[in-house]
Structure 1
Amino acid sequence: MVTRKGEQTKALILEKASKLFNSQGYRASSISDIMHETGLRKGGIYNHFENKEEIMLSAFSFSIDTMSHFFSEAMAGKQGCMERLLSIISVFEGIAERELFPGGCPIMNAAIEADDADLLLQEKVREAMDGLLGMVRNLVQEGIKKGEVKQGVDPEFVATVFISTLEGALALSKLYKNQEYMKRAVHHLRSFLAQNCA
């Protein structure tokens, strides 16, 4: 039986490990690093997780749950396709400014690191990216039905370009430590939305 204290300890491990993996990398981060971040001994960590892979997968899920919460918060009370898409952009701006996720977007970071040797993580990353693309696609589809988005706009195309542009801008902003890349991407997407949304 898991106690309340046990649940709190597990939540602490996931919170600290998710930040560590996102900023330092899944492979580069060791159990010793997690011990250092949490203040727990090895036994205290393995009390809740079987191995490092389980911590990695659970920490990634924790990051995605956190990201979903940010999107829900940003979209709360927003009406219409354009306002909701702009709220998604605002979350990415927050990530670029390192306010939300130190290290950048957890989906993109894990996608770069997850290769064919890491099939379980790769599968989870694909699911998360599918969710992100699906969120944009569904908003556009709904906007077309309600007459908020021009007829003939392809929701799949918009979702791909929208997320690719934001993720690419995040990567450039992180690499060059310059927010100008995100500002340009946001300007481009805002112009696109203004042309295609009612």
Structure 2
Amino acid sequence: MKSKDTSKARQTRQFIIEKAAPVFNKKGVSGTSLSDLTRATGLTKGSIYGNFKDKDEVAVCVFQYNVDKLVNSLFREMDKETSPVEMLLALPRAYGKRYRQIIDYGGCPILNTATEADDTHEALCRLTVEAIERLKQRIASIAAMGIEQGTIQDHTDPDAMANIILALIEGGSMLAKVTKQDYYMTDSLEQIRAIILSRSNLTTATADKDNVLHPRRTK
């Protein structure tokens, strides 16, 4: 019976996290109220706080859920490729495919949380840094593998390359969200593509097998 109860409790916690995830991503921690959570989940205050200590605990679990959902989807696309250059090119392509969905969801959870939590929520700030580092390390490790295999130029700094790619993704995402102009994001993704290709030792035809992100803006 205890095992059954534990399983039901886990399912309820997961249900609350999934229903609350878009709410926190759009409204942030300070902007999300308990009534927002009861509306989103259809549960009572007692049911929510019977599974979580407080709103902060829900927010932390939701952030981890949102980041895992985004990052894992990007990594899955990268893992479909076989060469380091193709794996790197898969990142802007995958982000481009998901960009409209990300915007409809409230924007990038890493950017949203970083903006709100940097001075106000120590736990979320720490988790945001860890999420950024997780992405950075994956990009840098792929670049380093490419250097070792000879498909990426050996003078490339993997960490610097990862930093620039992340800055373009998050900066483009922020500007596009605020201005409601998608070209900030698509231009950033095109620039990431160009940086990767400029560091590649492969021919453009070999490395850039899929040059479709999103249509560019009309002037």
- Asked whether the equivalents of residues 71 and 135 of structure 2 are also in contact (C-alpha less than 8 Å), the reply is no
Mapped to 2, the partners of 1:100 and 1:14 lie a distance apart of 19
Say which SS state the counterpart of residue 26 (structure 1) adopts.
helix
Q: Who is 2:82 aligned against?
A: 79
Corresponding position: 1:6 with 2:22: no
- Asked whether the equivalents of residues 149 and 197 of structure 1 are also in contact (C-alpha less than 8 Å), the reply is yes
Say which SS state the counterpart of residue 48 (structure 1) adopts.
coil
How far 1:187 moved relative to its partner? 1.6
| Runs of 4+ with >6 A deviation | none
How far 1:99 moved relative to its partner? 4.9
Mapped to 2, the partners of 1:101 and 1:72 lie a distance apart of 21
Aligned identity (percent) is 30
> Does the C-alpha gap of structure 1 residues 147 and 100 become closer, same or farther in structure 2, counting only changes over 3 Å?
farther
Provide the alpha-carbon RMSD of the alignment: 1.6
Q: Who is 1:154 aligned against?
A: 157
Q: Find the partner of 2:55 among 45, 52, 56.
A: 52
How far 1:178 moved relative to its partner? 1.8
Q: Find the partner of 1:37 among 28, 40, 52.
A: 40
Q: Who is 1:97 aligned against?
A: 100
> Does the C-alpha gap of structure 1 residues 99 and 67 become closer, same or farther in structure 2, counting only changes over 3 Å?
closer
Q: TM-score, normalised by structure 1?
A: 0.93
Corresponding position: 1:118 with 2:110: no
How far 1:62 moved relative to its partner? 0.9
Say which SS state the counterpart of residue 53 (structure 2) adopts.
coil
Corresponding position: 1:175 with 2:194: no
Q: Who is 2:200 aligned against?
A: 197
Please, which runs of 5 or more residues in structure 1 have no aligned partner?
none
Q: Who is 2:67 aligned against?
A: 64
Mapped to 2, the partners of 1:92 and 1:77 lie a distance apart of 15
Greater Cα shift, 89-98 or 119-128: 89-98
Say which SS state the counterpart of residue 86 (structure 2) adopts.
helix
- Asked whether the equivalents of residues 74 and 95 of structure 2 are also in contact (C-alpha less than 8 Å), the reply is no
Corresponding position: 1:17 with 2:14: no
How far 1:167 moved relative to its partner? 0.8
> Does the C-alpha gap of structure 1 residues 11 and 127 become closer, same or farther in structure 2, counting only changes over 3 Å?
same
C-alpha distance after superposition, 1:59-104 (max 9, x if no partner): 1111122123202321232111221112221332244312586111
Q: Who is 2:147 aligned against?
A: 144
